[in-house]
Amino acid sequence: MTSLWRLHIRPGGGNGNVAASVALCLDRSIIGMGWPVPDETVTQSDDLEWYKEAASRQYGSDMSWHSVWTFAERPEIGDLVWFRDTEGRFFLAEILEPWRYAYEDKAAIGADIVNFRKVRIIEVGVADAVPGKVIACFRPSKTFQPIRSPGMLAFSSKLAGLPSADTVFDVYEFMSDADLENVVFVYLQVIGWYVLPGTRTVTTAHYEFVLVHREKGERAIVQVKSGGTWIDASSYAGQETAFLFAASGNYGHVIPSNVVLITRKQLSDFMRGMPHLLPRAVLTWISVAGQPVD
């Protein structure tokens, strides 16, 4: 069964030039990482057990090289891997061959790409062409990790021209944090609440923006969370109205009287009924995933 992965191409050794490392991968149709074992006499190998022993000698208690172990052992031929360059362009790679180690090519050593796999690479584009759930997977610092989402796997397989199981997509999975915030803010303005953009600062993590009602002049705050993140509604107890939307639908067990939950049905009805007001990126995801599911 095909699996989906995310790779950070960011050399820690060599010349430290990420752009050069990505360029080498694109030029040679490979993806890879560093953690060379230059003290060994072997310069080429496809023996993972040898590499494990050599890396243990080379790096001692530093276990960061275990990313190579995962990269070499777990992904199968046909698996798909997302990566990106320094300019924010995203790529999808289909793994074609098993792992190899090679420490003899000056260009590869300089780019710190000595553990690699041959792939077929598809240039996807900048962030508005990439589902929010995939983009979110680039936030953790771990070099190589799985993306555990049937929807993202089905989307990636479709993008790569590979067969995939019939999957009912959830458009909320595709939206980035910014996409979802934009939809919620437009929705609130349609129902009479204006967003005050200057009220968002690094010191107001508890809410996104302050709102003002266009007729009554009342103030409110709004918080939006994408993906599986929940919002603790009880922490918003107080005098001020608080609009909350969590794509997960999880707000905890206590909903204070001043809290207004925006339901998925309300937001989905808005997107279906007023597509002309939606951001272009959201329209793209609806065209891929279909109409929002309540």
Residues 28 and 152 in one domain: yes
Report how far residue 235's alpha carbon sits from residue 108's, in angstroms, rounded to the nearest whole number. Answer: 52
Domain carrying residue 126: 4-167
Structural domain includes residue 16: yes
Residues 91 and 209 in one domain: no
Residues 68 and 89 in one domain: yes
Report how far residue 245's alpha carbon sits from residue 189's, in angstroms, rounded to the nearest whole number. Answer: 15
Residues 147 and 179 in one domain: no
pLDDT at 281: 80
pLDDT at 14: 47
E-only strand ranges, 42-146: 44-45, 80-84, 90-95, 100-102, 115-125, 144-146
Encode pLDDT of 146-198 as tens digits: 999 888 888 899 889 888 766 678 888 888 888 899 999 999 999 999 999 88
Q: Could you say which of 167, 184, 207 is where a domain stops?
A: 167
Nearest to 56 by CA among 33, 35, 41, 31: 35
Residues 68 and 161 in one domain: yes
Encode pLDDT of 40-97 as tens digits: 999 999 999 999 999 999 999 999 999 999 999 999 999 999 999 999 999 999 999 9
Report how far residue 94's alpha carbon sits from residue 156's, in angstroms, rounded to the nearest whole number. Answer: 10
Residues 177 and 162 in one domain: no
Residues 217 and 153 in one domain: no
Q: How many structural domains does the chain have?
A: 2
Kindly state the tokens that stand for 233. 């509604």
Report how far residue 58's alpha carbon sits from residue 103's, in angstroms, rounded to the nearest whole number. Answer: 14
Report how far residue 244's alpha carbon sits from residue 251's, in angstroms, rounded to the nearest whole number. Answer: 9
pTM higher than 0.75: yes
Q: Could you say which of 127, 152, 167 is where a domain stops?
A: 167
Q: Which amino acid is at 288?
A: V
Encode pLDDT of 234-263 as tens digits: 999 988 899 999 998 999 999 999 999 999
Place of tokens 């980035």: 176
